[in-house]
Structure 1
């Protein structure tokens, strides 16, 4: 079951020990268990932990990467902030 997160929730999970969450196109992924497998190295994922990494992700990856790894790493979506 998919959860809904606020951007603040995602920002609070910015370390491997606390759950390393990133946002890609409105979806939330926990990449803490993937850090050591990441071909670009752990440092890159740790740098974008707790943030929207869409721009960085698409700069270096194509859709096939998300299709391959997304299903096991995706934990939810980002809810839209209330517009006042």
Structure 2
């Protein structure tokens, strides 16, 4: 069962102690356990932790990466804050 997060919820998960969460499109991923496996290095994931990393992700990856790792790392979806 997946959880629904606000962008503010995800923003609190920006350290190894609180968990490293990122947003890609409308999905939230916990990349804490993936940091050491990331081919680009841990520094990149730590830099985008707690943020929407969609732009950076799609610049360097394609759909096959999400198919390979997405189900293992996804912890929920993000709901947008109310738009005024």
The Cα offsets for residues 22-59 of structure 1, whole Å up to 9 and x where unpaired, read as 00001000000000000000000000000000000000
Kindly report structure 1 stretches of 4+ aligned residues shifted beyond 4 Å.
none
TM-score for the superposition, normalised by structure 2: 0.97
Shift of 1:17: 1.5
| CA distance in 2 between partners of 1:61 and 1:16 (Å) | 23
Unaligned stretches of 5+ residues in structure 1: none
Instruction: Give the TM-score of the pair, scaled to structure 1.
Output: 0.97
Distance 1:52 1:83 in 2: 17
5+ residue gaps in structure 2?
none
Alignment of 1:60-79 (within 5 A): 60-79=60-79
Shift of 1:71: 0.2
The CA RMSD measured in Å over matched residues stands at: 0.6
Return the offset for 1:83.
Answer: 2.3
Write the mapping of 1:1-84 to structure 2, written as runs, cut at 5 A: 1-84=1-84
